[in-house]
Structure 1
Amino acid sequence: MNNADRDDDIDLLLVIDNRFIWTTRFFIVSILKVLGLYRNPKDKKASNKICLNMYLDENHLELPVAERDLYSAHEVIQLKPVYDKDGYYQRFRSANSWIAQFLPNSEVYHTRHVMNHTPGMNAKGNLMESFFRKIQLWKIKKNQTKEIIRQGYLRFHPHDNRGDILKQFEVKLKNYKG
């Protein structure tokens, strides 16, 4: 959409194997923190920081009904796949076909499949996932703002602008109609 400012962060939506959502989040956040690239919600300067604001597992690609509005539709069509394992981007767009009600002319990017093998899960993997889930939920609950945590769906937007943006749109639409 080419509407980012120089001081903006980089938002990522990650689609993750349903067996590893918490483990993956733990390691990605840890790596970004070590590299100094993690966008902490309290950061005043966000430029070139990575904001991991949404995680979906492969079995929960459809956005919740409560979030199906013009704002979410616009956010989804702005997505540009960086890495598309097993065609998840196409599956995500198909699962969210409701977007056409708001933006019927939106385009879908075409991606290449870059990986066809998913590592197997074993008892150690289950224990790790449970461990990382408990640690992160404990930490999230200590500082919770407007995060949404559901099975297969994690959304981290401590400052959700949805309401303000939709109100601004309504005002502009009324002014346009005259």
Structure 2
Amino acid sequence: MKSLKTLLYFSIFRYPLSAEEIYLFSKASDQSEIKNELEYLKEKGVISFDDSYYFLDGNLQSVSRRIEGNKMAKSVMQKAIKKGNLIAKFPYVKAVGISGALSKNYHDKDGDVDFFVITKSDRLWVARTLLMLYKKIFLFNSRKFFCINYFIAENSLEISEKNIFTATELLTLIPVSGDFTKFYSQNQWVSDFLPNLEIGKSSINNLKNKPLITKFIESFLNTKIGNGLENLFLKMTLKKWNTKFKTLNKDDFDIAMKSTDGVSKHHPRNFQKKVIDRLNKRYNEFQLKYNIELEKEHA
């Protein structure tokens, strides 16, 4: 039941889907397979349908929630792109993309705008620290349109956690600025999870020249001073997070708060693990209720 697995995944986010979307986010060989499955599931009372969208648990309210969220996403997208272009101007930032809910065309009044940032090798922590300082000083630490919680360096482009969650996040990423070609080429594994989605989007804009102040900072820090700061910022951040998030066990910390030379993640709620745990729980619930067995996901 490939369509059911897709609907169950997006039901965690209370996000109903059209038949076309179900096909795209599934492993189905063609759309007729999805159409036949959906008809069967409707007849059995497993799924519901309203206003072009399929959903579970009779949650009709999720349809109006999605429609409203799509409208709000459209209204904030240009502002998000503008912020992404600003991030791209910072020292050592090579590429910027919009991730999270907005990358899936959803936003609400309580939502943040998440950004995925690729940095120059050996300067990830300098780039991250400069961006965090800007946020704290000039944006009063607001993350509403400036949530920068995932950085990777050019020499660490392959995502190590390979699962349905990370595949979905990567394939829905909206490149704003910079060249994502190498990033996509090193993460072709996503097609094992979602073969019907195209991998390899082009950026909306490409920053041809960095501002003079950025060039000056980079020239100043392309020295032993920069090397020292890179190591210092990594150690300081890791020490702070080990103290602040000591309730996380080591395995969860190493994924949710990954802090290496080439990766920086700040996901203290470990959303990835929560989503997959919740999804497997949903699989069990539907197996007991409808006698439909679904292969479990891994984190």
User: TM-score, normalised to structure 1's length?
Assistant: 0.79
* Deviation of 1:134 (Å): 2.8
**1:130 aligns with one of 231, 240, 244:** 231
Counterpart check, 1:55 vs 2:165: no
Letter in 1 for 2:202: H
Using a 3 Å threshold, how does the CA distance of structure 1 residues 36 and 78 change in structure 2: closer, same or farther? Answer: farther
> Which residue of structure 2 lines up, in the alignment, with residue 110 of structure 1?
202
**1:28-177 aligned within 5 A:** 28-34=131-137, 35-39=139-143, 48-64=144-160, 67-84=161-178, 87=179, 89-107=180-198, 108-111=200-203, 113-115=206-208, 119=218, 121-144=222-245, 145=248, 146=253, 147-170=257-280, 171=282, 177=292
Rg: which structure is higher?
A: 2
Offset at residue 164 of structure 1 (A): 3.4
Q: Structure 1 residues 151, 133: CA separation in 2 closer, same or farther (over 3 Å shift)? A: closer
CA shift for structure 1 position 20: 1.1
Q: Is the Cα contact below 8 Å between 1:29 and 1:38 reproduced in 2?
A: no
| Deviation at residue 58 of structure 1 after TM alignment | 0.4
Structure 1, unpaired ranges of 5+: 40-47
Task: Give the Cα separation in 1 of the matches to 2:273 and 2:147.
Answer: 20
- Distance in 1 of aligned mates of 2:291 and 2:120: 45
Contact 1:37 1:49 survives alignment (8 Å): no
The aligned amino acid for 1:26 is T
Deviation at 1:37? 4.5
- Deviations along 1:64-97, one digit per CA (max 9) or x if unpaired, are 1xx200011011112112221xx2x121111111
Poorly superposed stretches of 4+, deviation over 3 Å: 115-120, 167-170, 172-178
Q: In the TM superposition, what is the alpha-carbon distance from 1:176 to its structure 2 partner?
A: 9.8
Deviations 1:89-110 (A, max 9, x none): 1211111110001111223321
Please tell me the residue identity of whatever aligns with 1:125: G
Equivalent residue for 1:21, pick from 124, 132, 136: 124
CA deviation profile, 1:112-140 (whole Å, cap 9, x unmatched): 54347885522222222223223222322
Cross-structure match for 1:7: 110
CA–CA distance in 2 between the matches of 1:72 and 1:128? 31
The 3-state SS of whatever aligns with 2:226 is helix
1:160 deviation in Å?
1.6
Aligned length: 165
Task: Give the stretch that moved more between structures: 69-78 or 116-125.
Answer: 116-125
Amino acid at match of 1:129: E
Q: How far off is 1:156 after superposition?
A: 1.1
Counterpart contact for 1:55–1:154, Cα < 8 Å: yes
If asked which structure has higher relative contact order (CA below 8 Å, sep 6+), I would say 1
Per the alignment, do residues 74 and 136 of structure 1 end up closer, same or farther by CA in structure 2, a change over 3 Å counting?
same
Instruction: Give the distance between the partners of 1:153 and 1:26, measured in 2 at CA.
Output: 13
What is the identity percentage for the equivalent residue pairs of Structure 1 and Structure 2? 25
Q: How far, CA to CA, are the matches of 2:166 and 2:291 in structure 1?
A: 22
Alpha-carbon distance in structure 2 between the residues aligned to 1:19 and 1:116: 21
Write the distance in 2 (CA, Å) between the matches of 1:55 and 1:75. 14
Checking the alignment, whether the CA contact within 8 Å between 2:122 and 2:261 is kept in structure 1 is no
Q: Which has the higher helix share?
A: 2
Conserved? CA contact 2:234–2:259, under 8 Å: no
Using structure 2 for the length normalisation, give the TM-score: 0.49
